[in-house]
Structure 1
Amino acid sequence: MPSINKSLLSICCLGFNHADFIKDNLDSILNIHYENIEVIVIDDGSSDDSIRVLEDIKETYPLPLKIISQHNTGNIGLNFNNAIRESKGDLITFISLDDVFHSKVMLQQINELNSKSNLAFIASSKALSINHLGYVDETRPGELQLSKIKNPQIEDLIRLEYEQLGAFYLQGSIFRKSIIDSIHGFDIDMTGDDIVLRIKLFNYLKIHSDWSFKIINNNNIFYRLHDNNIHKNSARQIKIVTEVWERYWPNKEIPPLLVNWVCGYVKNANFEQIIRLFTTNKKSIEMLDNIRVQTSIKKSIRNDFITSFTKFIFHRERLNEFKRVITLFSFIQFSYIKSKKRPTNNIHFTKY
């Protein structure tokens, strides 16, 4: 389908030690085959070769590419707000430099937004995962709970933010920049980024009912799974949800899915980690009233001594996606490397 060369799309990219994945990301932008794109990259103080890789690519990159290198803040919302301020497009999207776009679907979304001026955003109810090498994880179908709702309304999206702790992926979704500006972008005083922006957006559209939105089922993003994914930091994820719970639903009960997250985290946490988790904010303290949470804490403390003794005898640690270290009796240590061979039955994301 030929593109409608109309609105400028600003693609805001955020990277931190993503040197291995930058080329895949920027290539996926080129493969959208929509000429009216600008790319703004925020590098949040990477210690790898990210800046060198970006500067090398910029020399021959056919699209406008602005690179902003800064000291590490660790504040995703603040960093994306910096990119928003630099963006000039009528349309805007966000992505982490380790992820990649499904280029064909992105072009379809752009064309639809160009042809329907009342669309506030287009998002997807599906997100496929890829491994370090870019091969799709076929064990993860990628269907979100949103896919089960026929003709979802704004109230459905808000409900999913509370019940499922997220309606859809921010990456790959395309928004009218005027609306993002109207809600003042991300809240930099919140640990969370995507969930906060979505809730602010949905609340805005509740008031301004002249806007519509569209949910598609084709994935617009390939989410990269690797050892440095932020979502693997369970304590941070729980902190995000408790902050959102406190700000947007202070009078509601603890979301059941959050209870599951907390119990799962506590099961493998030590006493110090448990104390930190439940002293994060007001809502984290309130979680202590939950019976399931109380039971999980008791079991964790009881098992802490047994776990510590077991680790003294034998402990295996995963350093990265491939390297493992085994320690015996706290001082005998050796490491090994897992095979880096790709699964033969997987498809590379570029084949989609």
Structure 2
Amino acid sequence: MKQQIEPLVSVGVASFNNAAYIRETLNSIRGLHYSNLEIIIVDDASHDASIAVIEGWLAENSALNARLIALPVNKGLCHVCNTFVRESKGKYCTLIGSDDIYLPNKLATQVPVLEAAGPEAGVVFSDLSKIDPQGNTIVASIYDSGQIIPAEGDVWLSLLRANFIGTMTTLVRRSSLEKVGPYDESLVYEDWDMWLRLSRVCKFIYQPEVTALYRIHGNSFMHKRYRQIVESNMRILSKHLGVSAEADAIIGKHFAQYSEELYRLGSTESVRWLKERRRLFPDRRGLALLWLAKLGIPANALVRANAVVSQLVGKPRKENEAV
């Protein structure tokens, strides 16, 4: 009987200043129980020892179908993702950060799921564990607590409510990526926008097992550049306005939260997004914040003023409260 050939899977590693962790990431890819791989490491102009570590690992593992693309100038995560997709040739693609870890069965279980599904299924994703810098488990399952709830099938509205998918847990059909086009390089992060766009052209499949470890540490992207992340959230959501009343209601609630956060953070885009908030979520609080932003009154000035007033007039005494 002729042995069935496994489809090629392209594994992308998004590398930036994770010299302390990337060898462990690469070793986890080497340890996958799946043989037909191409490994493409895209380094976004790291200024630590990442390149030296990667080159050393490649020399030690020269038998693998693996290569490094070292970008001369830092272009951001979405550019890294586009570089990987453009340079890769696999039927399926998966992407991991240079501080995270794959578990051995990730592709051995996920590839058959997409192979068995029809072409309308474009993404399979799974559970993940969170680990600390030393690799100790912080959260065994992101879904067990019930705070994040996975959905499958037509997941667009569910994804509008919250991004419940970890990038490193996904396996994506290349033909689905080609339908939605490249990652949006105006954004500072890649995943929510791509999942939302994909969810409008294909179905998602949830695989209920942990397939990857997500490392939390001081250099993690989400610990930095918070204001730019919130601004990206607003631009992502704006792409989906006007599709349905239900979706606009979800987006309006997000705008109420995010526009207020941007005002508090001193974003130069506060007025723009507070206007959009006013249109979608016309409450009095939003109107007041819009006028304050238009007048150039920073949020921290209001906080200081409120503290001074509280000191001058004293805290209001509740009924039956002792003096």
Return the letter of the residue paired with 2:131. Answer: I
Contact preservation (8 Å) 1:278, 1:287: no
- Distance, in Å, in 2 between the alignment partners of 1:191 and 1:93 is 19
CA distance in 1, matches of 2:254, 2:4: 42
Given candidates 217, 229, 237, the residue that maps to 1:237 is: 229
Cross-structure match for 2:57: 57
Deviation at 1:221? 2.2
Whether 2:4 is the aligned partner of 1:7: answer no
Residue of structure 2 equivalent to 1:35: 35
Distance 2:15 2:274 in 1: 30
Mapped to 2, the partners of 1:306 and 1:17 lie a distance apart of 42
Q: Are the structure 2 counterparts of residues 55 and 163 from structure 1 closer, same or farther at C-alpha, using a change threshold of 3 Å?
A: same
1:215 alignment partner, one of 206, 215, 218 = 206
Identity %: 19
Distance 2:6 2:305 in 1: 64
Unaligned runs of 5+ in 2: 293-297, 308-323
Secondary structure at the aligned position of 2:210 is classed as coil
Deviations 1:164-186 (A, max 9, x none): 2x141222200111221232231
Aligned residue for 2:185, secondary structure, equals coil
Distance 1:13 1:277, change over 3 A: same
Q: Counterparts of 1:114 and 1:277 in 2: how far apart (Å)?
A: 45
**2:111 is the alignment partner of 1:120:** no
Structure 1 residue 258: Cα displacement: 5.4
- Deviation of the 1:306 alpha carbon: 9.3
Specify whether residues 172 and 89 from structure 1 end up closer, same or farther in structure 2 by C-alpha distance, changes over 3 A only: same
Q: RMSD in angstroms over aligned alpha carbons?
A: 3.0
Residue in structure 2 matched with residue 175 of structure 1 by the alignment: 172
Matched residue SS, 2:124: strand
User: Do residues 274 (structure 1) and 271 (structure 2) align?
Assistant: no
CA displacement at 1:134 relative to structure 2: 1.3
Q: Return the match for 1:283 from 273, 297, 302.
A: 273
TM-score of the superposed pair, with normalisation by structure 2? 0.77
Q: Which runs of 5 or more residues in structure 1 are unaligned?
A: 206-211, 308-352
CA shift in 2, pair 1:23/1:179, >3 Å: same
**Compared with structure 1, are the counterparts of its residues 128 and 290 closer, same or farther at alpha carbon in structure 2 (3 Å cutoff)?**
farther
Equivalence map 1:141-156=2 (5 Å): 141-143=141-143, 147=149, 149=151, 152-154=152-154
1:131 CA displacement? 0.9
Aligned-partner Cα distance in 1 for 2:11–2:150: 29
How far apart are the structure 2 equivalents of 1:28 and 1:71?
26
Change (3 A) 1:56 1:4: farther
Matches within 5 A, 1:244-263: 244-249=236-241, 252-253=248-249, 254-257=251-254, 259-260=256-257
Q: How far does residue 103 in structure 1 lie from its aligned partner after superposition?
A: 2.4
Q: In the alignment, is the contact (CA less than 8 A) between 2:9 and 2:90 conserved in 1? A: yes
CA deviation string 1:238-265 (max 9, x = no partner): 1111101222225825443554456567
Tell me by how many angstroms 1:110 deviates. Answer: 2.0
- Note the alpha carbon deviations across 1:99-157, whole angstroms, 9 max, x for none: 11122233211233344454422112x3221111111103x7411766365xx331xx2
Residues 191 and 33 of structure 1: is their aligned pair in 2 closer, same or farther, counting only changes over 3 Å? same
Letter in 2 for 1:246: S
The AA in structure 2 aligned to 1:242 is M
Q: Counterpart of 2:157 in structure 1: which amino acid? A: R
In the alignment, what sits opposite 1:81?
82
Q: Is the 8 A contact 2:33 2:107 kept in 1?
A: no
User: Which of the two has higher C-alpha Rg?
Assistant: 2
What SS is found at the alignment partner of 2:229? helix
